A and B are shown apart, each in its own frame.
Chain A
Amino acid sequence: MFEFLFKYPLSIYRQGTFIFLAGWPLWLMGLGVLVAAGVLGFLIWRQGSGSSRMGVVRRASVWVLQTALAFLLLFLIWHPALSVSTLKPQQNIVAVVIDDSTSMTTDDENSTRKEAAEKVLNGGLLKALQEKFQVRLYRMSDHAERIDKLEQLTAGATATHIGESLKQVAADASSLPIGAMILLSDGSDNTGGVDLETLSEIRRQRIPVHTIGLGRETMSRDVEISNVDVSARALPESRLGATVSFHQHGYTGQKAKITLREGSKVVASQDVTLKAEGTEQVETVLFNAGDAGVKTLEASIDPFPNEENPRNNRVTRLVNVDPRKPKILYMEGEPRWEFKFLRRAVEDDHTLHLYSILRTAPNKIYRQEQEDGKQGLTNINELKDGFPTKVEDLFGFDGLVFGSVDAPYLTKNQQDMVKQFVDRRGGGVLFLGGKDSLSDGGWAKSAAADILPTTLPERKNTYSFAGADVELTPEGRDSLITRIEEDPNKNVERWKKLPYIRTFQDPGDPKLGAVVLANFVPREGGGAKRPLLVTMNYGRGRTAIFATGGSWRWQMLQPLADMSHEMFYRQLLRWVVSDTPRHITGSTPKSLLADESHVKLRAEVRDKTYLPAGDATVEAHITGEGIPPEVVNMTPEPLEQGVYGADWTAPKAGSYYVEVVAKRAAEELGTDTFTFRREDGIAENFHVEQNRELLQKLSAETGGSYYKPADAQKLGKDINYSQAGITVRETRDLWDMPAIFLLFLGIRAAEWLLRRRWGVI
């Protein structure tokens, strides 16, 4: 329709420059319009002044229409045209890039995508191109490769990297007169799209990329897992959540089963009801991390019998279950039941190493260590002076718990250390409610006030010895801290049935970025609902408030077999410490390389006091199945102090183990280990629908056009217009386009219809 009305395709308008061929100055046209408007206005005013039927509004309407007509005539007299750059015949090269990945074997009911591409090219397009240009054929996988004929296409490549391939072809343009590119693809790119650098490189060379989209944009019957998000590191036996994102076509309302497997062992499964067509559905499946070691976890959705692509129903992730035992220091200001029952709740959690300091009398403390269910201090001098006074001693812990401890019990320096413990060390701190906690303990004015997840009330007497019921917030419903039942709905109900807490404390209002997981509602006095469990990330660490000293009733008021109190505190304390980093933290952005070999290694290095160590020597010792061990030197990242990086290529599929070793002169700062895995032949199983959005964006950004296969033959004509290669400028008349003729008729018809309606013809 556009081409019918405006004579030329839209792409020509995009590329071309609008000009007037008459050569007269534009101000003259403006003057002409003004004169015409004046004369017409005078005549129409005079003509209508004697007629009662031609009021002011009607005369003005006629004047506007006639002036518009005068303008249109002047516009045509000035001879409008488009100046476009066109490729010189037989002097330019057109690069035809054909997707040769396995997704091109997808059967779109009538034919495969590879067959569709061949049909388009052999159906006249290739011939039309060859008549005017030299044509270079490329096959595209994770790179572009020149081919001589279409028969060389195999549709067997295991990856599609559109950006990388186009960049390669564009590089040829620096020595060859490439006038345009034609990309035949389903747009199923394994890298997530075309990066800005590639786009700007192509734009810089002014090469239009015309895209021909192959394949269906939606599958008829398919379930696809689009992502599985699971923590790359975990503590042994900890409860983890695998967040499985997926979408489906053709199975709305049907039941499906998500299964998590470690090898052949099913570690968790969950039945789900599939939501609306194409909707991204997110479900969290809980599982136990198990013993220490690297776990290869596969998330899958059982394929339906008639599913078109069952290969995209499973995704693999790595979880490194770290054998470390985080150390937690629990500082309690008074002997009380919450202290007793908290320690008992976590005593069977063999991953937590709990130290405690209890103020038994005004001048006495009672120190304990709890590990693997054993009590008693391993080192009799441990914490003998009470709460640590040195950074090195405090930072030896991964987490802190403050019970009913007033802030002034700590010196200003100790309070500041607590803040640095979170901010710099990256540790976690939990504040419990109590008669000497939070506001009542003077924490609002302490040096550690910033790290609290709430703004504490200014007043005192915020702690009440009165019962309160507990209810989860929507965030608490999804949190692993508060998950004491596997099923989220049952979990909410379970929390409603918990015995009331014996005491509560108003923690104030949550700060920006804080998350309220549970509220308490006083049972008496009609008190308002207030936050009970609030978490927040601060600096490199995290903090939480559990505003009660009376959750012990969950243990005493429920049958012995009930584990809700134990589970809650274990999960809460694990949250406090699970992400606490060590001196060295090694990582990679992607622990699973799907049909990729390049891996970026990263290490964050801190010294003994957890200050960034920018002067360290950092090495990555890489071992893998069937390859000799390799040592890679990591170099400082320019913009991040204490961060080191390296690029490495995994030579073949398999698991790789990396040990990062950091030294400062002869002093070893620490080590860390992490793993990654390269898997081949899986990337093309995903995103097999045509990514039309990507192809359209690519062509629009480069000055090309997107075509469906049925319209692709038009390319033979449209491709002439380009600013790349060897070109010549041409002008295209616009005065005779049908749109102007229709506009002319429209203006006249409008005036006639108005006059007829007014009875003044």
Chain B
Amino acid sequence: MRLRAVLLVALLGAFGAWGVLHAQKPFKEYPGFEYTNFEVPPDANVPHEWTRARLKYTQYGGGGFGRRGFGGGNRWTMDYPRSDRHLLPGIARLTRIDARSVEQVVELDNSDDIYNWPTLYGVEVGYWSLNDEEARQLREYLNRGGFLMVDDFHGNTEWEIFEEGIKKVFPDRDIVDLPDAHPIFHTLYDLDHRIQVPGEAALSNGVTYEQGNNGGRDPHWRGIYDNKGRVVVAICHNMDLGDAWEHADDAWYPAEMTGLAYRIAINYFVYDFTH
């Protein structure tokens, strides 16, 4: 009888664990790098057809001080959640995407949660540090049909760190420049002529770039294709779309850049839906 009870408890426990692993997690807000107490909109928990996830990655060096450790390990929260809360309602307003008003934070934690959110955004990926297991899960996520857009990393050093991580994910796939004629620039808006979208700090210095002496001067629109020729990783290097969304309601941030940042996001996400 006791054996039966033990087996039953074990079975229920295993089933519960399986359920937790397979069920999608509810919305949760984390303290951010810049915003620690941002107001949660009242409809945050209202489910919608589409939710854009934000990648919570392990930071290079685990945080601490110095260039690579700066930020205490939460670089993934850069502009968060203000940029998300500006961008996502904008997408809902400008397109027919039924977008949730808030983001969903996901991790490469070896659970199944990330697979519930097939559209993923990673910021400051020049600071990420993917271990082999995380890289394996991100590869599986992308191969199953997930889409990753990365943004807000600048210059050669951050590129190398990003590249080191993404090469763990796709060792055999090249990172390529996306031509102006690529469908990703034409899904909803025709974006043949794009300008560099700068971050707040660059603008305050009167320029549109960061790390100008370290390869950060020119924006690069890059991507990684899957076996079918679809962009599955969209790479926005030497630009800061996140800041443009974040400061969309600031009068000093150039409207032209905000508009482009929104249009790029919309085009990229519509591209994901259509390819």
Contacts and interface: CB of A to CB of B under 8 A. Distances in A.
Interface of A: 333-337, 339-341, 343-344, 347, 356, 358-362, 364, 366, 368, 373, 375, 404, 434-435, 465-467, 499-500, 502-503, 549, 552-553, 555-560
Interface stretch (B34-42, B46-54, B164-172): B46-54
B29 interface: no
B274 A560 contact: no
A549 B49 contact: yes
B97 interface: yes
B274 A366 contact: yes
A360 B263 CA distance: 13
B145 A335 contact: no
Contacts of B112: 557
Given A334-B97, A375-B275, A467-B23, A556 B188 contact: no
A340 B140 CA distance: 17
Given A337-B273, A549-B49, A558-B144, 14 more contacts: A334-B98, A335-B270, A339-B273, A340-B274, A343-B274, A366-B187, A366-B188, A366-B274, A435-B49, A502-B116, A553-B115, A556-B118, A556-B144, A557-B115
Given A337-B118, A556-B118, A347 B228 contact: yes
Interface in B166-195: 183, 187-188
A553 B146 CA distance: 11
Nearest to B146: A556
Nearest to B187: A366
B95 A335 contact: yes
B269 interface: yes
Interface of B: 22-23, 47-50, 94-98, 112, 115-116, 118, 140, 143-146, 183, 187-188, 228, 269-270, 272-275
A364 B47 contact: no
A343 B47 CA distance: 24
B227 to A, nearest CB: 10
Contacts of A360: 95-96, 187-188, 270
Contacts of B95: 335, 360-361
Contacts of A361: 94-96, 188
Nearest to A434: B49
A335 B274 contact: yes
Contacts of B115: 553, 556-557
A375 B112 CA distance: 30
Nearest to A368: B274
Contact of B143 (A335, A364, A560): A560
Between B49, B95, B140, B269, the greatest number of chain A beta carbons within 10 A of the residue's beta carbon is seen for B49
Nearest to A550: B49
B97 A335 contact: yes
Q: Which 3 residue pairs are nearest across A and B when measured between Cβ atoms?
A: A465-B47, A335-B273, A556-B115
A556 B50 contact: no
A549 B49 CA distance: 8
A58 to B, nearest CB: 72
B116 A553 contact: yes
Contacts of A335: 50, 95-97, 269-270, 273-274
Nearest to A362: B96
A399 to B, nearest CB: 20
A404 B98 CA distance: 11
Q: Which of B50, B95, B273 has the most CB atoms of chain A within a 10 A radius of its CB?
A: B273
A367 to B, nearest CB: 10
26 contacts: A333-B96, A335-B50, A335-B96, A335-B97, A337-B50, A337-B118, A340-B145, A340-B272, A360-B187, A361-B94, A361-B95, A361-B96, A361-B188, A366-B187, A366-B270, A368-B274, A499-B22, A502-B116, A549-B49, A553-B116, A555-B144, A555-B145, A556-B116, A556-B144, A559-B140, A560-B143
Contacts of A359: 96
A344 B272 CA distance: 11
A598 B258 CA distance: 77
A336 B273 contact: yes
A336 B270 contact: no
B86 to A, nearest CB: 19
A401 to B, nearest CB: 15
B275 A334 contact: no
Contacts of B116: 502, 553, 556-557
B140 A334 contact: no
A549 B96 CA distance: 15
Nearest to A363: B96
A360 B91 CA distance: 11
Contact of B274 (A333, A358, A557): A358
A336 B275 CA distance: 12
Contacts of B96: 333-335, 359-362
Contacts of B22: 499-500, 557
Nearest to A523: B23
A44 to B, nearest CB: 81
B23 A344 contact: no
B98 A364 contact: no
Contacts of A364: 188
A503 B228 CA distance: 28
B273 A340 contact: yes
A345 B115 CA distance: 17
B144 A560 contact: yes
Contacts of B269: 335
Contacts of B50: 335-337
A659 to B, nearest CB: 38
Contacts of B143: 560
B97 A336 contact: yes
A237 B2 CA distance: 55
A560 B140 contact: yes
A558 B112 CA distance: 9
